[in-house]
Amino acid sequence: MSIRLVIDGQSVTARRGMTVLEAAEKAGIRIPTLCRQPGLPASGGCRLCLVEIEGMRGFPPSCTTPAVEGMVVKTRSKELNGLRRHVLELTLSEHPYTCLVCDHRTDCDDYQKTIRKSGVVTGCQNCPKNGSCELQALAREIGLESVPFPVDYRNRPVEQKDPFFDRDYNLCILCGRCVRQCQEIRLNGTLTFGYRGSRMAVTTPFELSHLETGCEFCGACVDVCPTGALYDKESKWEGPAESTLKTVCGLCSAGCEMTVWKGEKGPVAVRSHGVLPARGQLCVRGRFGTLRLLTDRRRVFQPLVREGERWVETGWDDALDRAAQAMRSSDGPWEVWASPFCCNEELFALQEWARRGLKTPFIQLASDWAGEETADMMRHLAQWGGVPSYEEWQRAGCLMLWGSHIGISHPIVSLMARQAAQRGVPVIAVNHRGAAVPCKEALSLPLIPGMEGRLADLLMRAVSGGGKISQAQAAGLGVEADLFNQAVKWLGKGAPVILAGADTLTGQVPAAWPHLFHLADRLKGHLVPVMGEGNWMGGLWLGCHPRLRPGWKAADPGNPGKGRRKVLAFEDAPVFPDAELTVLMAVYRPPENHPAGIVLPVLHWMESLGTAVNLEGRIQPLRPCGRPEGPRPAWRIVHELAKRNSVQGLEYNSFTRIRNAMKQTIPGFESGSAKFVWPQKRRKEAPPRPEKAPVRPGGRYPYLLVWGDALIGSRGVSLMDVPGMEHLVRPDFVEIHPEDARKLNVGDGERVCLVSKKGEVKRRVRILNAIRPGTLFTLRKDPQDPVVQQNVFITKESHE
């Protein structure tokens, strides 16, 4: 429904429900604003967007006043201009303003470059925001030339102790964008307004540090700050971006859009961008970790060949010749390991090279989420109609979160669940460690790990049949009957979107995915596997798996062949010291003891031109934010190898060629990016549900250990090297119930050893009331740690 109003004499059409400001903006009429930020709820506090409206007293703020049919609005007049100027003067009287109104500011810009990087900002040249400050822009727009008040400097110490960003509230103008962002978009509540009147300040509850208050360090507050009050430590003195670039984060499979700021010498900062998935939000890893990984000191730019104990740099031709030679003459079986941090084009080319060039059925995605069980599940999902888009999540009647660590592996998915709950969508969390969505419309349904399949079956029966769970059944699953019944009620409200982590879907015996599949199918909902690194989905879809061909077609895993294996791999693949030859495609220089014979440098995710598929099956474009000399895209390497070995049909000497080859081969890829890879029609071909009994702990291994994934790195390089990250993701803990801790006589923080049949790992004890007695939870520290759910026993670490 549209309405008409008159703004500054111009007839304007607006949608019902729009504010006057939105209506004006739609018509291209600019009204100065400060506290308002698209995407955030309006506050009406800065008083710059005041307008005159016929029939209304005074000067209503356009950002909160609803546009009404027939309204006559004036955005400029002598009074309004004066009022705006005076209000801005008042705003500036609390902010070091010399940079805005100083007569010499141009000279200063030209000749005083060196006085940046001061600890305390007192004026333009030592403010990190100089040049991109919204106050500077507003002062220019409003034509402010002097401020009649002296600066009332607050003299608050600059807060620098927390990681990732600094806070200088002497520059804060209390617009409240950061507070609204933190409270209403991130639903976190670290930032709040403290005190009142002229003492009002942005602060944290009880004025604790951000680390103490449970800040996620997502940086969303920094993104919206109009002044230099909040600033990334890393890019603080880089100045305004010379250009920006929109790309996609690759650290998990959520596919968050982000903006990369580029300076003179390359990317300098990452900011949030766009709408998807969670209203343009990022997590700490994407926001503060991405560039760290890109610029890691261990980057390798020249091909290397092993000569004895050392790596020796060589030219591309030499390295490729050697690799091609080995691939031509060798008779042993080849294993090809693709990386989930590759773009689709690279994955496709590699898969082609494996199957057509090397004629091996062994092409595998080097991901913890690419086992046989996963391949089966994904193929079934594909035949069934695929996974829903984020837009469909928004329409879910109910959200279910299965698994113990979605909040850790995919923080943005967990944020989307919080946002859904905020909108009134019921959210049911099912796991054994009490990981819940902290809001009103959320329910935590704890259970014994391994019982997920049975619980799903019972839920399905209860929702469709209206039956209730018996006390005995409930006890067998470890769930409370009341909570179960509440969950049944909520599930009945509408088609659910079932989000499930790897520990539930495939990480246990028997795997729970067929049961969840049936549950989703019966309730006409969706099942979403929330797992995987950046392009995990793309890797499977493009057939980088012995059991999958491109486009979710089944493949014959074939016979591995005889002889010593030879490996063509990316660096996140397992290391095979017994291999006859390893050709490594690497972003980072492998450790000196790596058995690779040839190292071919490839491009980092952030340097790739191409596409990737996120966990909703959306093809997203990747744009390179830099192009270093040396490294090449993997499809290019495939092209060179094919040329040298005279393999026909793999002439991928340009991006267009590889793109065209994909378009012709793979359904879903015909029109390029932003499309979904799933077949549209839903076919009813549900997998059989295994009736195997879950493995119970006992005997020598009395504890059931559930593994989670921290996803804190890419290609074997961990984000834990980024200063501050260690506070947020500590993979070295094991969660244990207080009762068990008492039995084992271990205290919080004590070092213990978890021993299973497959090996042992060391961890620190974290006592958690919410976890189920007899079960443990820990994160996989590196991809080489044991994967499957294991029964373990615990010993105190010996004092060696």
Return the residue of 13, 81, 113, 193 that touches other proteins, per CB under 8 A.
193
Interactions with other proteins, residue window 34-73 (CB under 8 A) = 43-47, 50, 58-61, 64-66
Measured CA distances, 220 to 416, 627, 796 (Å):
15, 28, 41
Nearer to other proteins, 34 or 381 (CB): 34
549: exposed, middle or buried (C-beta count within 10 Å: 0-12, 13-18, 19+)? Answer: middle
Nearer to other proteins, 46 or 567 (CB): 46
Nearer to other proteins, 4 or 86 (CB): 86
- Collapsing DSSP to helix, strand or coil, 344 comes out as helix
Nearer to other proteins, 176 or 668 (CB): 176
Nearest to 457 by CA among 515, 409, 400: 515
Nearer to other proteins, 80 or 755 (CB): 80
- What is the helix, strand, coil percentage profile of the chain, to 5? 30, 20, 50
Return the residue of 149, 153, 237, 301 that touches other proteins, per CB under 8 A.
149
Minimum distance from residue 32 beta carbon to other proteins (Å): 13
Minimum distance from residue 180 beta carbon to other proteins (Å): 12
CA distance 50 to 84: 8
Dihedral in degrees, nearest 10, Cα atoms 323, 325, 326, 330: 150
Nearest to 706 by CA among 298, 475, 432, 378: 432
Contact map string, positions 167 to 186, toward other proteins, x by CB under 8 A? ------xx-x----------
CA distance 666 to 550: 6
Nearer to other proteins, 89 or 166 (CB): 89
Q: How many residues bind other proteins (CB under 8 A)?
A: 34
Which helix (H) or strand (E) segment holds residue 584: the answer is strand 581-586
With contacts defined by CB under 8 A, name the span among 147-155, 224-232, 234-242, 355-363 that binds other proteins: 147-155
At 416, list the tokens: 């989307």
Return the residue of 196, 297, 684, 799 that touches other proteins, per CB under 8 A.
196
Return the residue of 4, 15, 16, 86 that touches other proteins, per CB under 8 A.
86
> What's the first-to-final CA gap in the chain, in angstroms?
74
Nearer to other proteins, 111 or 195 (CB): 195
Nearer to other proteins, 151 or 787 (CB): 151
Minimum distance from residue 41 beta carbon to other proteins (Å): 10
With contacts defined by CB under 8 A, name the span among 146-154, 244-252, 361-369, 524-532 that binds other proteins: 146-154
At 750, list the tokens: 């004590």
Report CA Rg, the chain: 29
At 219, list the tokens: 């940086």
Return the residue of 93, 330, 645, 653 that touches other proteins, per CB under 8 A.
93
- Asked if 152 is part of the footprint of other proteins (rule: CB under 8 A), the reply reads yes
Return the residue of 69, 115, 153, 200 that touches other proteins, per CB under 8 A.
200
Minimum distance from residue 438 beta carbon to other proteins (Å): 17
- Asked if 148 is part of the footprint of other proteins (rule: CB under 8 A), the reply reads yes
Minimum distance from residue 687 beta carbon to other proteins (Å): 46
Phi, psi of 400 (to 5 degrees): -120, 135
- Asked if 151 is part of the footprint of other proteins (rule: CB under 8 A), the reply reads no
Beta partners for residue 263, in sequence order: 266
Minimum distance from residue 19 beta carbon to other proteins (Å): 10
Phi/psi region, residue 453 (left: phi>0; alpha: psi -120 to 50; beta: rest), is alpha
Return the residue of 27, 29, 83, 770 that touches other proteins, per CB under 8 A.
83
With contacts defined by CB under 8 A, name the span among 84-92, 121-129, 285-293, 685-693 that binds other proteins: 84-92
Dihedral in degrees, nearest 10, Cα atoms 702, 703, 704, 710: -150
- Asked if 550 is part of the footprint of other proteins (rule: CB under 8 A), the reply reads no
Interactions with other proteins, residue window 419-448 (CB under 8 A) = none
Nearest to 268 by CA among 720, 714, 626: 626
Nearer to other proteins, 74 or 322 (CB): 74
Nearer to other proteins, 44 or 476 (CB): 44
Nearest to 759 by CA among 785, 733, 783: 785
Nearer to other proteins, 85 or 594 (CB): 85
Return the residue of 11, 198, 329, 798 that touches other proteins, per CB under 8 A.
198
Minimum distance from residue 30 beta carbon to other proteins (Å): 19
At 484, list the tokens: 């179960």
Do the beta carbons of residue 73 and residue 5 sit within 8 Å?
A: yes
- Collapsing DSSP to helix, strand or coil, 790 comes out as strand
Minimum distance from residue 46 beta carbon to other proteins (Å): 6
- Asked if 94 is part of the footprint of other proteins (rule: CB under 8 A), the reply reads yes
Return the residue of 55, 197, 308, 466 that touches other proteins, per CB under 8 A.
197
CA distance 90 to 95: 9
CA distance 16 to 747: 60
147: exposed, middle or buried (C-beta count within 10 Å: 0-12, 13-18, 19+)? Answer: buried
> Which residues, 6 or more positions from 84, have their beta carbon under 8 angstroms from its beta carbon?
32, 48, 50, 142
Nearer to other proteins, 52 or 651 (CB): 52
Beta partners for residue 696, in sequence order: none
Minimum distance from residue 72 beta carbon to other proteins (Å): 16
At 413, list the tokens: 């998915």
At 257, list the tokens: 């859009």
Nearer to other proteins, 183 or 485 (CB): 183
Return the residue of 78, 117, 199, 562 that touches other proteins, per CB under 8 A.
199
CA distance 237 to 114: 11
User: Which residues are at the interface with other proteins (CB under 8 A)?
Assistant: 43-47, 50, 58-61, 64-66, 79, 83, 86-87, 90-91, 93-94, 148-149, 152, 173-174, 176, 193, 195-200
